[in-house]
Amino acid sequence: MPTMKPSERMKIPRQAMPERHAAERAVCFQEVNCGYPPDAAATEANRCLQCKDAKCIGGCPVGVNIPAFVEAIAANDLSAAADILLADNVLPGITGRVCPQEKQCEALCVRAKKGTPVGVGYLERFVADWAREHRKDLFEPPAATGKRVAVVGSGPGGLTCAGELAKRGHAVTVFEALHIPGGVLVYGIPEFRLPKAIVHAEVESLRRRGVEIVTDVVIGQTYTIHELLGVEGFDSVFIANGAGLPIFQGIPGENLKGVYSANEFLTRVNLMGAYRFGETDTPIIKASETVVCGGGNTAMDAVRTARRLGGDPATLAYRRSREEMPARAEEVKHAEEEGVVFRFLCSPLEVLGDEKGWVRGVRCIQMELGEPDASGRRRPVPVPGSEFEIPCQVFIQAIGTKANPLLTQTTPGLNTNKWGNIIVDADHMTSIPGVFAGGDIVRGGATVILAMGDGKSAAAAMDRYLGNGSGDAAST
């Protein structure tokens, strides 16, 4: 295949992601993005300039060799592309869909300087989906080391760590508190953004690699960490039990019927299938008007879910302005297209109830941006006398979570910071030798890919701890 000149590559416009029509998707839970057709993927791959000093790799928390897998797509060798991708990322079908690429790999793409970056996320998803459809697992089990590792939590951090440890020949058991594995990937992120079938396929692929996944086990309650290391006979433990308790604002009316945490709302809909109530048994309040408070990805997931349950309008109230929103850019765009109403510089003061204890609205105050705060973002300050009401029957708090105490309070010797998050060293090891931790329980609320990055580097450190030399994974 003749090599394309950089000038020719520069002329190719970024290939658009085919999407389900906004009007259709505002009322259904089917995935919004439909994935590149093969020709669009090849065209997009040719936009990559194949930089010698590829900055994009440094933007990836798991260090995917981006130019190499993109080049393989351009050469139409999808099998090679899959090998390259899977060597660094055990869950590419997931990250291709949920990573904030515009803040990571794509932000560092040289083409972003004068135009649009290469669609790394879209291409990653393309390869992952192709591999899931077309490739048999060619996995050959590595020689067993005889070491047993327990992984606490089957979210992105736990699954990644489990996969990396299995590659190195350790016997891995993942303990999941809920009834199906996946953590935030199944209870939090909605079907329309990450189909559950993809998560299940990734989990099954780990099972075929010999990872044992045990559901219905709440570490800290069913077993303590010390029991895992003691009577249960594990040589090392990775704690990735996730974020935990939802934060409420502490405003009046938060216990009215119709107030949810985003966690509860999303868990009912995603994990329990409440949007199919009738086929499933878990109920959800369907409101004609819903207000979600927050500006992150969870808030965006909640408001778009509310829209699909019939929220008209489904309103997002965020106390800062659009520029400060931490949500992924594509989600904001999709939400707007679907008819979500954005109220910026708007802070709820009180949830209003009717005489029967149901939510009837939320009283808010207009904010304006003042001096920058500790986060570097301009601090929102209330405008006196600017209170107003937004009518709604469901009000959802999506303003973050705090550390879950279940595990830490039953683990003497495990050091935590003042917020209850586990303290780890550069190798992700906690104050208890052999016990490692990563993801939200350490970071206090981050992203899928950062948890995966922790899982990956912790696995290498655990491998060294277990006496397996270099910590390099066997190539698969």
Partner 1 sequence: MFTIEQAEWLAPKVRRLVVRAPRVSSHHKPGHFVIVRVHEGGERIPLTIADSDAASGTITLIVQIVGATTERLCSLSAGDSIANVAGPLGRPTEIENFGHAVLVGGGVGTAVIFPQAAKLREVGNRVTAVIGGRSREYVILEKELSSHCNHVYPCTDDGSYGYHGFVTAKLKEVIEECGDVGVVLTAGPVPMMRAVAGVTRPLGIKTIVSLNPIMVDGTGMCGGCRVTVAGEMKFACVDGPEFDAHTVDFAELTDRLTTYREQEALAWNRLHELTERSDASASRCKMREMEDAAASR
E-strand stretches of 58-154: 148-152
Work out whether 218 is an interface residue with partner 1 (CB under 8 A).
yes
Work out whether 217 is an interface residue with partner 1 (CB under 8 A).
yes
Work out whether 298 is an interface residue with partner 1 (CB under 8 A).
no
Work out whether 419 is an interface residue with partner 1 (CB under 8 A).
no
Instruction: Count residues binding partner 1 (CB under 8 A).
Output: 40
Work out whether 255 is an interface residue with partner 1 (CB under 8 A).
yes
Segment lying near partner 1 (by CB under 8 A), choices 99-107, 199-207, 257-265, 303-311: 257-265
Among 4, 107, 245, 446, binds partner 1 (CB under 8 A): 245
Contact between residue 165 and residue 459 where contact means Cβ atoms under 8 Å apart? yes
Work out whether 457 is an interface residue with partner 1 (CB under 8 A).
no
Rg of the Cα atoms in the chain: 23
Q: Is 235 left (phi over 0), alpha (psi -120 to 50) or beta?
A: alpha
Contact between residue 265 and residue 294 where contact means Cβ atoms under 8 Å apart? no
Segment lying near partner 1 (by CB under 8 A), choices 14-22, 156-164, 215-223, 461-469: 215-223
- For the chain, give the longest Cα–Cα distance: 74
Contact between residue 92 and residue 98 where contact means Cβ atoms under 8 Å apart? no
What letter represents residue 154's amino acid? S
**Which tokens hold the place of 462?**
């655990």
- Residue 440 vs 454, nearer CB to partner 1: 440
Segment lying near partner 1 (by CB under 8 A), choices 75-83, 112-120, 238-246, 340-348: 238-246
Segment lying near partner 1 (by CB under 8 A), choices 49-57, 243-251, 315-323, 444-452: 243-251
Least Å distance, CB 216 to partner 1, is 4
Work out whether 305 is an interface residue with partner 1 (CB under 8 A).
no
Q: What are phi and psi of 87, to 5 degrees?
A: -65, -30
Least Å distance, CB 359 to partner 1, is 11
- Residue 30 vs 255, nearer CB to partner 1: 255
List the one residue out of 80, 19, 12 whose CA is nearest residue 45. 12
Segment lying near partner 1 (by CB under 8 A), choices 195-203, 212-220, 360-368, 413-421: 212-220
Q: Which parts of 177-206 interact with partner 1 (CB under 8 A)?
A: 177-179, 187
Q: What are phi and psi of 152, to 5 degrees?
A: -100, 105
Does the CA dihedral 443-239-60-336 come out positive or negative? negative
Helical (H) or strand (E) element with 260: strand 259-261
Mask of contacts with partner 1, 258-297, x by CB under 8 A? --xx-xx--xx---xx---xxxxxxx-x------------
Q: 167, exposed or middle or buried, with CB in 10 Å at 0-12, 13-18, 19+? A: buried
Contact between residue 397 and residue 261 where contact means Cβ atoms under 8 Å apart? yes
Q: Which parts of 337-376 interact with partner 1 (CB under 8 A)?
A: 357
Distance CA 83, CA 393 (A): 50
Distance CA 308, CA 176 (A): 29
- Residue 215 vs 375, nearer CB to partner 1: 215
Residues that bind partner 1 (CB under 8 A): 177-179, 187, 215-218, 221-223, 242, 244-246, 248, 250, 254-255, 257, 260-261, 263-264, 267-268, 272-273, 277-283, 285, 357, 404-406
